[in-house]
Amino acid sequence: MFYPNWLCWAFFTKSWGLFFSEELYNLTVLFSAALLWQYLSGSARITSVFWSAFWAVAVRRYLAEGLCTSTTRLTGQTVVITGANVGIGRETARDLLRRGAHVILACRSLPKAEEARRSLLGEGGKVEVRLLDLSSLQSVRDFAAGLVKDNIKVHILINNAGVVSCPYMETQEGFEMQMGTNHLGHFLLTNLLLPQMKQHGEPTRIINVSSIASLGEVGSL
């Protein structure tokens, strides 16, 4: 569904407009900074400074693994996204709704999830909210049981929710909060939904969203 990075043939043939519309602001700021630097230092050629600024943006896009050029439709498919009320989760939901998917926002805060749902109305597809607190294994079981009870066929599971740098706390079952929420909750959810995802016989996918923080301190790599 997603290209590994924007340096692909489809980018060069289809996405110039998208690239420049997203990065025009960044290029403008960098070019202005280059002009200011040339004025203050009197030593830098504007062409070399501009190209340095351009490649800085290009490298940033590459490292961000930026643009999705796929136009695949997901009509008739159901997607569960954990932590979909903010950030990456909400924008992922927005894109999948535009592709015609039925998106379930699985969140621990129903008011925030409902606010996100309202902001996504009109994008296409169908969006609904269901309660899921990954720090509670019972909540995970209840969520999975609710999907089975309502005979909802899950085609795509996106394990996106997570907490980071929280003070030491424990989940309801006594696990450290970050480990319990980010790993154990998603592990249980995946295992509860997997049999049903395999049983309905249609193509399925499980996506685990991670962070470079999992690699440890960058300076020590």
In this structure, are 100 and 122 located in the same domain? yes
- Extract the tokens encoding 40: 């203050």
Q: Which residues contact 182 (CB under 8 A, 6 or more apart)?
A: 134, 161, 162, 163
The 10s digit of each residue's pLDDT in 158-202 is: 999 998 888 899 999 999 999 999 999 999 999 999 999 998 888
Cβ contact 53:79 at 8 Å: no
pLDDT tens digits along 125-134: 899 999 999 9
Strand partners, 82: 106
- Rg, C-alpha atoms of the chain: 21
Same domain assignment for residues 179 and 107: yes
Whether 184 maps to a domain, the answer reads yes
Collapsing DSSP to helix, strand or coil, 100 comes out as: coil
- Give the pLDDT band (50/70/90) at residue 27: low
Domain contains 114: yes
- E strands in 61-204: 78-82, 102-107, 126-131, 156-159
Same-domain pairing of 136 and 91: yes
With contact defined as beta carbons under 8 Å apart, do 172 and 136 qualify? Answer: yes
Is 90 inside any structural domain?
A: yes
Same domain, 46 and 131: no
218, part of any domain: no
Structural domains in the chain (count): 2
**Amino acid at residue number 205:** R
Instruction: Report the sign of the C-alpha dihedral through residues 157, 60, 116, 69, in that order.
Output: negative
Say yes or no: 51 and 156 in one domain: no
> Does residue 175 lie within any of the structural domains?
yes
**pLDDT tens sequence across 40-54:** 776 556 566 666 666
73-111: pLDDT as tens digits: 999 999 999 999 998 999 999 999 999 999 999 999 999
Same domain, 60 and 101: no
Q: Do 87 and 120 fall into the same domain?
A: yes
Asked, for residue 216, whether it belongs to a domain, the answer is no
- CATH code: domain of residue 178: 3.40.50.720
**């996504």: which residue's tokens?**
120
User: Does residue 217 sit within a domain?
Assistant: no
- Domain identity same for 45 and 144: no
Per-residue confidence band for 16, with pLDDT thresholds at 50, 70 and 90: low
> How many CA atoms lie less than 13 Å away from 18 in the CB half-sphere?
13
Residue partners of 114: CB distance under 8 A and separation at least 6: 129
**Are residue 86 and residue 44 in the same domain, yes or no?**
no
In this predicted structure, what is the pLDDT of residue 60?
63
Record the tokens describing residue 203, joined without a space.
């193509």
Tell me what pLDDT residue 71 has.
Answer: 83
pTM: 0.69
What range does the domain containing 99 cover? 78-210
Q: For residue 1, what pLDDT is reported?
A: 36
**Residue 89: which of 139, 36, 161 has the closest Cα?**
161
The domain boundary residue, chosen from 40, 64, 88: 64
Helix, strand, coil percentages (3-state) for the chain, rounded to 5, are 55, 10, 35
> How much is the pLDDT for 201?
83
- Are 97 and 180 members of one domain? yes
Average pLDDT over residues 25-42: 70
The residue among 175, 179, 5, 157 whose CA lies nearest residue 83 is: 157
Same domain, 90 and 185: yes
**71 lies in some domain:** no
**Are residue 93 and residue 56 in the same domain, yes or no?**
no
